[in-house]
Amino acid sequence: MRLCTSCATPGHSVIGVDIRQADVVADLSTPEGRCAAANRVLLMAGGKLDGAVLAAGLGPAPVVDRPRLIAQVNYLGVVDLLDTWRPALAAANRAKVVVFASNSTTTTPAVPRRAVRALLAHDADKAVRSVRLFGGTAPVMMYAASKLAVSRWVRRQAVNNEWAGASIRLNALAPGAIMTPLLEEQLSTPRQAKAIRSFPIPIGGFGDAGQLADWVLFMLSDAADFLCGSIVFVDGGSDAYFRADDWPKPVPTHRLPAFLKRFKATLPRPEGGSR
């Protein structure tokens, strides 16, 4: 996982957070570890963060207790830290936050909604219980649920006064099959490797981590001032392959009252463009 005060270029300070060999060593699968990591970063950054990259993620490996660890790291390891850092991000003015989601949010069938709702309610134990009936595929379902939940959290929070109104730009990047240690771990398991290699990627092959890094740098830059609450898919076309007609969609008639209510809601309207 990498969390940074800005882009990793000359003149910028970068603070890395990981379970080992990092500026801040912490176990994000526990409340104590998340609290320690968040506070240590604030101390090192002097209470002001220009940006953050939340790339914490455990893959759906078929190991004991994996669904619980995925819920704790992939979801709570993102939102708990960002809740703590929000004042420091607001203090920087025009801060940028990039959260790593996944194209599993739209390409994994039958993800239980109750697991997603449980995570959004910060109830990891309930989320784990919600995927137990899937047996050996429970880690796969929890992985997709965790990325769905964190994507929805980003969309909901990004437009609020506490984030957009405080000049913090909160967005998510949704990668597909990128050759990273997480994918290498999955490819080392024959059953998962077979499924991954047969998964449709229209442009062919796997993505490169450097390509994602370029997207992260853009989303941390001033060029992203007008980017807010977006989920950017970088997956070789898999999401579009499966769901070409699913998005975008017009507002359905039954949601028109709620839409109009939101339309009339009071929002800060700064002069001269984005804040």
Catalytic center residues: 143
Give the chain's largest Cα–Cα span. Answer: 57
Spatial distance between the Cα atoms of 12 and 2, rounded to a whole number of angstroms:
14
The closest alpha carbon to 142, from 110, 111, 172, 117, belongs to 111
Spatial distance between the Cα atoms of 79 and 38, rounded to a whole number of angstroms:
11
8 A C-beta contact, residue 228 and residue 159: yes
Pairing between strand 95-100 and 24-25?
unpaired
The closest alpha carbon to 95, from 162, 54, 50, 53, belongs to 50
Say which residues have a Cβ less than 8 Å from residue 128's Cβ, sequence separation at least 6. Answer: 67, 68, 71, 142
Residue identified by tokens 């017009």 is 250
Torsion sign, CA atoms 204, 206, 208, 211:
positive
Spatial distance between the Cα atoms of 180 and 55, rounded to a whole number of angstroms:
12
Spatial distance between the Cα atoms of 50 and 11, rounded to a whole number of angstroms:
13
Half-sphere exposure (CA, 13 Å, Cβ side) for 26? Answer: 26
The closest alpha carbon to 189, from 141, 238, 148, 136, belongs to 136
